[in-house]
């Protein structure tokens, strides 16, 4: 039996998936704008680490069972393959030339998260076996950039982002409850203000490329000691920012909760939308002084549209084709009355963690 969903976690995912979409829209805005660049850096310090931490928490119940492994394939691997083919087709249509790397082994753009999440979930029974895995994951994150980056299956990112997932795996519900206290909210505001301040001139001590966590120290132009110190500081900032976002997340159910329920649908769908906007140059006409604000408005519209039930239902044939096929077959077996009922959209964030 599926456990009851926590609106607080869905609300957090709604905030974070909106930040993901906003970050990607900001990246394709034309021109060079100080506000856009600053906002982009501040968002990237927090949004994926927080998303990964929540994903780790929701993966605590994953087991190497047939049901959980099947769910992993249908909700992560199959959509990864489908959207890789879709995005690769768009790339070919726009660029007109093929890539040299095997497309399924080299995650296309934002699809790295699905590849990394699959690896993390597969390893989660080992990663949660002992609390010693938390400091070990930090060591892996700090030392893995001493080797050349590995694009295959987003392995480099999976290793460098690993601590957030492992911390989520070991987080207890009673610990997270402390984030809802008023004092935690005050500290959360201060943490986000501090992140805004330290990212005001990120290039003076790092660069935006550091935030992607997919390069070696050598490629970033840093020696090992400097690289470890810089990554350590970023890890602390990202963890503090992640907890800050959770502390400021509303706990009550609202209209925005549905966006969190459909966070994976929005994540997958926005890759096609943002790539189409970039390829078509749809945002190039935005006035320089208004580009950032307009980009944020576009981001909100994209999130709202992709999370809307009339869009979610047909899009499910791409985001969860196996589940959509099973529901259609069940509806046909049960007759017109069952088929007339709306099909519930997929909740891959719950499976198999909340199975």
Contact 22, 316 (CB under 8 A): no
Percent of the chain scoring above 70 in pLDDT: 91
Higher pLDDT pick, 303 / 104: 303
pLDDT, tens only, 40-99:
999 999 999 999 999 999 999 999 999 999 999 999 999 999 999 999 999 888 877 666
Query: What is residue 337's predicted lDDT score, i.e. its pLDDT?
Result: 55
Percent of the chain surpassing pLDDT 90: 73
Count, in order, helices (H) and strands (E) of the chain. 17, 0
pLDDT tens track for 300-355: 999 999 999 999 999 999 999 999 998 888 888 886 554 444 444 444 444 333 32
C-alpha distance from residue 252 to each of 6, 166, 193 (Å): 9, 27, 25
Per-residue confidence (pLDDT) for residue 99, from 0 to 100: 66
pLDDT for 42: 96
> So what's the pLDDT on residue 209?
95
Position with higher pLDDT, 15 vs 283: 15
Quick: pLDDT tens for 242-294. 999 999 999 999 989 999 999 999 999 999 999 999 988 888 877 767 888 88
Residue of 326, 336, 279, 273 whose CA lies nearest to 299 = 273
Q: How confident is the model at residue 150 (pLDDT cuts 50, 70, 90)?
A: confident
- For range 136-145, the mean pLDDT: 97
Task: List the domain boundaries for the chain.
Answer: 7-340
Helix axes 263-280, 309-319, angle to 10 degrees: 90
Provide the pLDDT for residue 260: 95
């Amino acid at each position: 039996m599926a456990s009851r969903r926590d609106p607080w976690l869905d609300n957090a995912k709604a905030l974070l998936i909106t930040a993901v979409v906003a970050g990607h829209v900001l990246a394709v805005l034309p021109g060079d704008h100080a506000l856009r660049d600053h906002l982009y850096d501040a968002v990237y310090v927090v949004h994926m680490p927080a998303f990964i931490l929540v994903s780790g928490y929701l993966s605590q119940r994953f087991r190497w069972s047939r049901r959980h492994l099947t769910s992993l394939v249908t909700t992560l691997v199959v959509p990864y393959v489908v959207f890789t083919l879709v995005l690769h087709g768009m790339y070919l249509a726009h660029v007109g030339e093929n890539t040299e790397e095997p497309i399924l082994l080299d995650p296309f753009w934002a699809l790295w998260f699905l590849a990394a999440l699959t690896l993390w979930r597969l390893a989660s029974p080992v990663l949660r076996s002992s609390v010693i895995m938390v400091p070990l994951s930090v060591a892996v994150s700090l030392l893995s950039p001493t080797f050349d980056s590995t694009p295959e299956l987003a392995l480099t990112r999976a290793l460098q982002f690993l601590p957030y997932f492992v911390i989520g795996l070991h987080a207890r519900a009673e610990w997270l409850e402390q984030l809802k206290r008023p004092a935690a909210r005050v500290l959360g505001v201060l943490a986000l203000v501090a992140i805004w301040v330290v990212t005001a001139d990120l290039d003076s001590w790092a660069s935006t490329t550091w935030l992607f966590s997919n390069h070696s120290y050598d490629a970033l132009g840093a020696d090992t000691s400097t690289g470890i110190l810089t990554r350590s500081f970023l890890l602390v900032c990202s963890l503090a920012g992640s907890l800050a976002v959770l502390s400021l997340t509303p706990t009550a159910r609202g209209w925005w909760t549905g966006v969190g329920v459909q966070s994976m649908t929005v994540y997958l769908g926005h890759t096609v939308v943002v790539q189409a906007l970039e390829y078509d140059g749809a945002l190039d006409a935005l006035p320089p002084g208004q580009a950032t604000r307009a980009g944020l408005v576009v981001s909100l519209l994209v999130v709202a549209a992709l999370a809307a039930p009339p869009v979610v239902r047909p899009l499910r044939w791409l985001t969860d084709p196996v589940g959509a096929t099973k529901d259609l077959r069940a509806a046909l077996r049960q007759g017109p009355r069952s088929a007339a009922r709306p099909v519930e959209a997929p909740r891959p964030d719950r499976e198999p963690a909340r199975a």
